[in-house]
Structure 1
Amino acid sequence: MNTNKHSKKVVHLPLFIQKNHKAILFSLLLFLMLPTTFVHAQRLYTTDGVNIRAKPNGSSKILTSVSAGTAVTRTGSKGNWIAVKVDGVKGYIYKTYLKSSKKASASSANSTSYRAVITASSVNMRAKPSFSGRIKGSLSAGQSVTVCTTKGAWKKVKTSAGKKGYVYGIYVGKSYTPVKKAAKTSPTVSTGNYRSRAISYAHTRLGNKYSQARRDQKGYADCSSLVRDAYKSATGKYIGNTTYEQLELMDSYLYSVSSVHNVTVGDLVFHRGSSNHVGIYLGNGKVLHASQTAGKVKISTFSRSSTYWDTGCNAAAYCASR
């Protein structure tokens, strides 16, 4: 007679699981408790030098910039924008600038050439991707070039004549639309308040660190972003994003300067040499500007014999007229 007819069948688990069942159970529970963003995190690579923005749109604040081939962690998405994290910074990158493979990213960024145009006047082409690089020539607005490679924020371009060099990326685009010049403004326009408000704002930026890559981040500025922000704060008007664009937009308000001491307080002063520079005149030979040499926003004093500032601009009148 079979006495085990109604007994339950014993299932013997593998010896490894028997010995480690507590650790396996704990690991399973820990995995299930992980945040969704961690579980679905994905490593991606940038295909070009690209800005990381605070919100999923092209007009939002730029948090930082990364070069081609940079590894980022995908944390989500919103429409055509990918939420990413890199070096502790969380923001958004447009999806076409990301690839799943570093090899594919490098190939796209460094091997595929394309046609482009210069978007600003008198853009310097340099021997290396740095503002300290030797200037090999100057390119004009609307000039067609071939972009050969990308290195960080710089583009290596080739002209129709076969000349090669590096151009800062913000001056290279897919199309060029000539800027419509503002109409001349009567010198009787009352603009004193605009000037004083612009100066007051610029004083709040004293000590900000100089950086072209981080110019739109808090605590940083370069010369053109500083005056752009000052007049935006003072008037709500846009005077241009770069010195090249500012010179074009305000061409009707430019005047020659034999001495910076002859400039109206609150006007912009430009140096139009091998590298454009701009600041706000404070009077008594003093100019408030973002100095690349000093590495910060500061006030410099110039003598009457100084020839550095060669152009003034009635920026306040320009803003009043728009």
Structure 2
Amino acid sequence: MDGPVASHNVFQRATETALYLRTSLPDILHHPKVAIVCGSGLGGLAETIHPEPRIETAYANIPNFPRSTVQGHVGKLVFGLIGPAKTPAILLVGRAHFYEGHTMDLVTFATRVCKVMGVEIVIVTNAAGGLNQDYAVGDIVCLNDHLNMAGLVGIHPLRGPNIDDFGVRFPPLSDAYDLELRRRAHQAWKKLGLDKQKRQLHEGVYAFVAGPTYETRAECRMLRGFGADVVGMSTVPEIVVARHSGLRVLAFSLVTNNAVLEAGPRGDDEAIQAMSKDELGQHLSKGKANHGEVLEAGREAAKDMQQALVKQILSDLYPQ
């Protein structure tokens, strides 16, 4: 379903979808406690669950679900058990984005379904551009705040009649990023010895922009000036809806490219006057982001984020 969803029908539709999903699940998976959203190139997080029982369902086969059309987003739900306590979990391998043409209701619909199914904690991952010059490609950022740039100008997932079945009309977001979960993330990083390697774990602020274009140099400087450390085209709508629904949130950004903050070359710069057209193109394109690099960086960092960090956090949170 790709058309607009009336706000007053969202709870009913989410309930219908949850009932549909439960028809194919064993009883032990009917009420998952954790949902993990796998961002660009991070679908390997699905390998953190135990091999049995494991139930996969393509988004295309799920009533009311939007379809993900972006490379690196497979588009399936994976149900299984995770960690030593065999905690029931849902993994969302791929997500729907606003820039694909979906409404905000659809972009955040899976989060609503997770709430109806009994999820308590949402772990959200994404690939993002690094605005903070102290960040290197491959670093991981535990988010502690965000700038909802699209939401500030009216593209907000809670716009319209409030859905009282999920939450209050004016939910606060000053506590959106759960402090205890963030503490556990840093503790798990050290417990695994990941603090001894080159890749770093930071805390920072994520700027959500609508996309699908990567940001201009001036836009990157503006966002950095506003206090953003990373920038991307997802995550924040899901987090807003998760908090509206009373879910606890832990979010990670994988830095897949360094945003270009310095101003571009001027046409009257003496240094470029003798350059050929090809040389000018190469000069201007230094640092330009591309989706292929995003996916490759995701693959390179996947082991630290998926097989180690997330699994360790959940093992500590739900011990045997």
State TM-score, norm by structure 1.
0.24
Structure with the larger RCO, 1 or 2 (CA within 8 Å, 6+ apart) = 2
Larger Cα-atom Rg: 1
State TM-score, norm by structure 2.
0.24
